[in-house]
């Protein structure tokens, strides 16, 4: 018998080790435990509300418990398993887990053929690059080079679209059956420890049960697409516990099922009849079109200006500038001006966002994770560079739902020295009470602090770009 708790393995565990492991689960949202032997294993993972999800494997098939258990029932189950008993299996409703390939597809992982297509496109680039240029004179042009190196991106996007289309087409022929919602709440999807990509994202944790040919099944997938943020909240409210739903399932494998066969969850038909929750703003039907119109006007103006500038440069604008400024480095000057204008646009958008965030309501929260993570990066020939980032996750409630976020400073994520990251972690220890500012229209968007130096940094970057452009013009030299 072997006990693994958060990656630490204990050979031939004693009952005290199991009791201590469950008792120490505490507020660690990433706690997990596996008790295994030659015949299979039992797995438990802690949920955000303090309960535990169960799964067991009999050596051939994995089964998930239909309902979570508390710490007392988990301890009793593990002790019984440690003694070699099997009667505990009858105390729970178990649902056969889907096949690994279908689990991967349900979680949004790309299929093997899509990965193979991208790899093949990269191999094609290598092959074509080594062919004689007389065979493909198009590659000697700028457009040909750009098209060649953009091929993997185009193939990846095409594979994603094709994968979604195939899933929707296959699901269109699935059968339907009535089911019932057994769990409906928000959960948090976290990135792997040490990952530079991603953050904590609120996702719907919706489970439903249904029967096919006298056999019970449980599903967890709501839509064929990814649901997070604001859409996650809408999903949970659309599917309350106990409500009757229509389940679409694959007749060849009912574990492959979904509630809605589209990419997004449709809004409830009677949105106007929903009660307004505490801290939530009343929907402003007249204000939304005005805001959308303003954004469209600004966006259209920017696109028109960029299009006009690009057309002028393509029609000889570069040559005209070079004739007027014969000593100037025109390409450098134009690139610097373009980057400066782009940074200014970011600055304006950032200031508008801060102005809106200043009116956001405040909700009490509590820190659930607080640690320092190390980031590593290295150049082709240089030494490994290390930076450190404070990872602080906090939970807060809006209405009757609990949300999680890792956004310390609104719209700003920084990494630097270990000392600086440790100072942030010391300011927000696990269990500390915090004040959380959240967007009333999208409570998943929340932060603990407002940025203080971000605007000045963006302004400084824009001014630096314009200074480079002025220097490249050689007007004062």
Intervals of the chain under pLDDT 70:
26-29, 95-110, 133, 138-144, 192-198, 263-300, 302, 306, 313-315, 318, 377-384, 415, 452-455, 476-477
- The C-alpha angle 106, 110, 112, rounded to 5 degrees, equals 115
Alpha-carbon span 142 to 37, nearest angstrom = 61
The pLDDT, as a whole number, for residue 267 is 47
The pLDDT, as a whole number, for residue 383 is 58
The pLDDT, as a whole number, for residue 177 is 94
Please say whether the beta carbons of 377 and 450 come within 8 A.
Answer: no
Partners of 366 in the beta sheet? 395, 433
Q: For residue 363, what are the contacts with CB-CB under 8 A and spacing of at least 6?
A: 279, 396, 397, 398, 435, 436, 438, 446
Alpha-carbon span 429 to 450, nearest angstrom = 19
Alpha-carbon span 404 to 368, nearest angstrom = 9
Which residue's structure tokens are 């009660």? 275
Alpha-carbon span 68 to 467, nearest angstrom = 61
How many Cα atoms sit within 13 Å of 156 on the Cβ side? 11
The pLDDT, as a whole number, for residue 85 is 85
Region at 339 (left for phi over 0; alpha for psi -120 to 50; beta for the rest) = alpha
For the chain, the domains span 2-97, 105-171, 175-273, 362-376+386-449
Region at 274 (left for phi over 0; alpha for psi -120 to 50; beta for the rest) = beta
Alpha-carbon span 420 to 372, nearest angstrom = 10
Three-class secondary structure of residue 257 per DSSP: strand
φ and ψ of 313, to 5 deg: -65, -40
Alpha-carbon span 201 to 308, nearest angstrom = 40
Three-class secondary structure of residue 15 per DSSP: helix
**Structure confidence by residue, pLDDT tens digits, 149-187:** 788 888 888 888 887 788 888 888 899 999 999 889 888
């Amino acid at each position: 018998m072997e006990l693994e708790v958060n990656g630490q393995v204990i050979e031939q565990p004693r009952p005290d080790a199991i009791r201590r492991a469950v008792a120490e689960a505490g507020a660690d949202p990433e706690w997990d435990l596996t008790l295994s032997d030659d015949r299979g294993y039992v797995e438990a993972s802690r949920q955000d509300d303090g309960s535990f999800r169960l799964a067991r494997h009999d050596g051939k098939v994995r089964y998930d418990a239909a309902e979570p258990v508390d710490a007392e029932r988990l301890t009793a189950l593990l002790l019984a398993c440690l003694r070699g008993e099997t009667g505990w299996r009858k105390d729970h409703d178990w649902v056969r887990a889907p096949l690994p390939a279908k689990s991967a597809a349900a979680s949004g992982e790309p299929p093997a053929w899509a990965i193979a297509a991208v790899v093949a496109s990269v191999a094609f680039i290598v092959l074509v690059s080594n062919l004689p240029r007389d065979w493909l004179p198009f590659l000697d042009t700028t457009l040909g080079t750009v098209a060649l190196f953009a091929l993997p991106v185009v193939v990846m996007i095409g594979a994603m679209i094709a994968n979604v289309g195939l899933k929707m087409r296959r699901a269109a022929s699935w059968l339907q059956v009535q089911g019932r919602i057994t769990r409906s709440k928000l959960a948090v999807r976290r990135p792997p420890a040490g990952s530079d990509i991603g953050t904590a994202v609120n996702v719907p944790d919706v489970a439903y049960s249904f029967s096919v040919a006298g056999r019970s099944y449980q599903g967890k997938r709501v839509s064929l697409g990814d649901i997070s943020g604001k859409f996650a909240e809408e999903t949970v409210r659309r599917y309350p516990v106990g409500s009757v739903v229509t389940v679409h399932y694959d007749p060849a494998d009912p574990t492959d099922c979904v509630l809605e066969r589209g990419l997004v969850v449709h809004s409830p038909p009677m949105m106007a009849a929903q009660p307004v929750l505490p801290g939530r703003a009343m929907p402003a039907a007249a204000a939304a079109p005005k805001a959308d119109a303003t954004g469209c006007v600004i966006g259209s103006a920017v696109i028109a200006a960029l299009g006009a500038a690009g057309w002028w440069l393509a029609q000889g604008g570069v040559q005209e500038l070079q004739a007027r400024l014969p000593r100037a480095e025109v390409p450098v000057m134009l690139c610097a001006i373009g980057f400066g204008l782009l940074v200014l646009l970011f600055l304006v958008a950032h200031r508008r966002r801060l102005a809106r965030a200043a009116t956001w309501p405040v909700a009490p929260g509590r820190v659930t994770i607080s640690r320092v993570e190390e980031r590593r990066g290295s150049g082709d020939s240089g030494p490994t560079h290390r930076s450190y980032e404070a990872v602080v996750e906090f939970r807060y409630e809006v209405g009757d739902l609990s949300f999680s976020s890792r956004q310390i400073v609104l719209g700003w994520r920084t990494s630097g020295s270990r000392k600086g990251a440790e100072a942030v972690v010391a300011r927000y220890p696990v269990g500390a009470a915090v004040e959380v500012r959240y967007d009333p229209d999208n409570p998943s968007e929340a932060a603990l602090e407002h940025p203080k130096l971000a605007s000045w940094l963006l302004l400084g970057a824009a001014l630096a770009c314009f200074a480079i452009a002025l220097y490249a013009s050689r007007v004062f030299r």
